[in-house]
Structure 1
Amino acid sequence: MNITYRLDITPATSAVIEVYDSSGINRPTNDEARIAKMYANSDVVATAWDDEVLVGVARSVTDYCYCCYLSDLAVRSDYQNAGIGKKLIALTKEHLGDECMLLLVAAPSAANYYPKIGMDRISDAFTIKRKV
């Protein structure tokens, strides 16, 4: 397996949907236009490729100087546990620089993963849930 990582491409929406559906992440993959809009409005998209096949993605929104919200991290199920997610996070953080913090909200099924790769757990985050 020879995985390459890129920050200079936004993958095709259909490829992103395939990764999301395979990874188990809960996203509105039945709404292709919404997924496309999510990526059109993102600031940082880190991708992992096995030749021409998209196998992982980290999508973030940021001000580049204080904070960054890593809103999606997904790796195809057959590529999980190979360090791809960890590398996508590291690549995102490296791109942002030292003055920018990285924040994400973990799905309950993934909450134990992030401390294992060096992220700190916080308990004082709040949300207003989307209606759609």
Structure 2
Amino acid sequence: MSLVWSSSIDNLDWAELAALYRAAPLGNKTPEGLRTAFTNSMFKCFVYEDGKLVGVGRALADGVDCSYICDVALLPSHQGLGLGKQIVAKLVSLSSGHKKMILYAVPGKEPFYQKFGFRRMSTAMAIFENQGDALERGYLNET
């Protein structure tokens, strides 16, 4: 597997990125929304194989206090090969120097991220656009 890594959004095909998130599956994100999210993220990681986008991740960071690692996604054909681990490791490395790194994970994937040193927070809280869906999918507790 010959992979090319990039942090540039200059020639990114936003529709291809949206298709990757649907295939991963990490939701139906619009190309426009992804452009805004990635443009505003300090750290970005794109992985290509033969010119095709196969993996991605980003970190929204302020450069000093907090880096929020999110949106790590791989095409199903590239899952289970260690590529996700490499993307997270790259984002953790880029985020070093921040006082804290926060990561938002799909329920059930916590053991994967614990290998990097992430631990469950007792004080984290969230408001979702669709609270009922977030509750049903295991992202929120009842109380």
Pairwise TM-score range, normalised by the shorter structure: 0.7 to 0.9
Q: Which residue of 1 aligns with 2:20?
A: 19
Shift of 1:75: 0.7
Shift of 1:63: 0.8
Q: Which residue of 2 aligns with 1:8?
A: 8
Q: What's the CA shift string for 1:33-70, capped at 9, x where partnerless?
A: 22222222222111111121111111221011221111
Shift of 1:15: 1.7
TM-score normalised by length of structure 1: 0.83
1:71 equivalent in alignment to 2:36: no
Runs of 4 or more above 6 Å deviation: none
Distance in 2 between the 1:71 and 1:94 partners? 14
1:53 equivalent in alignment to 2:52: yes
Distance in 1 between the 2:98 and 2:70 partners? 19
Larger Rg: 2
Matched-pair identity in %: 24
1:84 equivalent in alignment to 2:111: no
Structure 1 unpaired stretches of 5+: none
Structure 2 unpaired stretches of 5+: 131-143
TM-score normalised by length of structure 2: 0.77
Structure possessing the higher relative contact order (Cα contacts under 8 Å, 6 or more residues apart): 1
The equivalences for 1:87-102 within 5 A come to 87-102=86-101
Shift of 1:103: 1.0
Shift of 1:109: 4.2
Shift of 1:20: 0.5
Distance in 1 between the 2:43 and 2:66 partners? 12
Q: Aligned Cα RMSD in Å?
A: 2.2
Shift of 1:117: 4.5
Of 3-12 and 60-69, deviating more is 3-12
Q: Which residue of 2 aligns with 1:36?
A: 35
